[in-house]
Amino acid sequence: MKKIAILGAGGHGKVAADIASLCGYSEIVFLDDNDAVKNCGPYPVIGKNAIANSLGCDLFVAIGNPMVRRSLMEKLESVVTLIHPNAVIAKNVTIGNGVIVMAGAVINPGTSIGDGVIINTCSSVDHDCEIGNYVHVAVGAHIAGSVRIEDSTWIGVGATISNNVNICGNSVIGAGAVVVKDICRPGVYIGIPAREKRKDMHTESIILGGHDSEKIHGTGERSQMHRQGIYEKYIKRTQDFLCALLASVVLLPVMLVTALLVRKKLGSPVLFTQDRPGKDGEIFKLYKFRSMTSQRDKNGNLLPDEVRLTRFGKKLRSTSLDELPELFNVLKGDMSVVGPRPLLVEYLPRYNKRQARRHEVRPGITGLAQVHGRNAISWEEKFDWDVKYVDHVTFLGDWKIIFLTVLAVLKREGISAAGEATMGRFLGKNSVSQ
């Protein structure tokens, strides 16, 4: 007798149960963290998600929100893939774990499907596509040939993705949208041709695991919502602007000299610019003085940091002079003087729900993590300090961090991780500075 436990007693769970019965499962039960849910159709809810690994049967996560789905799957020892008998899948298609392919779906040759992907009813994925982990392809969507879709992206009902298009992770493609060119930053894209709509909409509902979305999909969990105090709501932004303006005027000679030295030592351009996610995950351009060369290998890939980071660049970083152009980010409103440091866009889908809370406030030039070890502590410790700051934004706390930052810069502490030129990359679950 084949038994399966399905996590999530919502709409996706009902579909998963139907496919499971067609795949030969004679005993089907549900798990859900909502105590009010007693059954899902004819099948009983026997407990909460936490008991899944102890059941000794096949498991499947049937929750639409990709971040919640990912969080649950990472806690499970193994998950099965469910494919409807009426789905059409070519022989040389690669399909990951925890995937569901619904009735009438078509997946053509040469395509790879990552873990936790939902391929909905009557949707199609053409040849040689690469579909990342936890992607959701809605009903009737069509993905043309040689398309690459990165992790945790949502393709809406009836949407069309044209040939050879690349879509970055954590994007939402609206219902009926037609994507004809690459999408290089997370956001919500609608219309024909698809254009960006609201940058914060996706972050609230997908990246940060918005509580309304979680309630709909039966996780029974609500994320802790950030509440602004009087200082944060009415004073902090004005204080940031005035401090950044004053610092920009006072430090202008230092910035001019630094710019000339960068131009002489490293060449042009003087400034390093890069997309970074800010408050609510909204993308902005970060400004810093360059501290590395642009040396590449024979294949055109940038060489490792330790090779490109020059002696001059190390001095810039140790004195934090490379950070001075971020004062203009503060003036623009992209950043605050104090807050979690803005990290790479590619890290967004790798955060768990708690870590993603660092985006509930503006990122800062300095923060709690910077005065408690900077790059010499693990990623988990960094995020713990970031979330602690989000929950305790105060006037005295900010000025204490600024004072401690000055001391840390003078002492040149925590500039790099042990054995690294800077800081090891954040790879997701259990990632450390290594």
Burial readout 157-177 (b: 16 or more C-beta within 10 A, e: otherwise): ebbbbbeebbbbbbbbbbebb
Adjacency order of strands within the sheet including 195-196: 82-83, 100-101, 118-119, 136-137, 154-155, 172-173, 188-190, 195-196
Check if the beta carbon of residue 312 is closer than 8 Å to that of residue 339.
no
For residue 195, pLDDT beyond 50: yes
CA distance 388 to 383: 8
**pLDDT tier, 22 (very low <50, low <70, confident <90, very high otherwise):** very high
Q: Which of 158, 154, 137 shows the shortest CA–CA distance to 203?
A: 154
pLDDT at 225: 57
Using one digit for the tens of pLDDT, what is the confidence trace for 117-150?
A: 999 999 999 999 999 999 999 989 999 999 999 9
Q: Which domains does the chain have, with CATH numbers?
A: 3-75 (3.40.50.20), 82-216 (2.160.10.10), 230-411 (no CATH)
Q: What is the mean pLDDT of residues 91-116?
A: 95
Average pLDDT, the chain: 85
Torsional sign, CA 260, 266, 269, 275: negative
Question: Which has more pLDDT, 427 or 4?
Answer: 4
Adjacency order of strands within the sheet including 130-131: 94-95, 112-113, 130-131, 148-149, 166-167
pLDDT at 330: 96
Q: Which of 355, 373, 362 shows the shortest CA–CA distance to 398?
A: 362
pLDDT at 68: 82
Q: What is the mean pLDDT of residues 313-322?
A: 87
Question: Which has more pLDDT, 316 or 64?
Answer: 316
Written as one string, the DSSP assignment of 87-101 is -EE-TT-EE-TT-EE
Q: Where are the alpha helices (DSSP H) in 66-149?
A: 66-75
Catalytic annotation, pick one of 12, 127, 136, 142: 127
pLDDT at 299: 78
pLDDT at 422: 57
- DSSP state for residue 411 in the 8-state scheme: H
pLDDT at 418: 44
Longest dimension (CA), the chain: 77
Catalytic residue check, 127: yes
Q: Is the pTM of this model over 0.85?
A: no
Question: Which of 60-64, 264-268, 300-304, 344-348 has the weakest average pLDDT?
Answer: 300-304
pLDDT at 208: 37
Element (H or E) spanning 199, and its range?
helix 199-202
- Provide the β-strand partners of residue 273: 287
Check if the beta carbon of residue 99 is closer than 8 Å to that of residue 46.
no
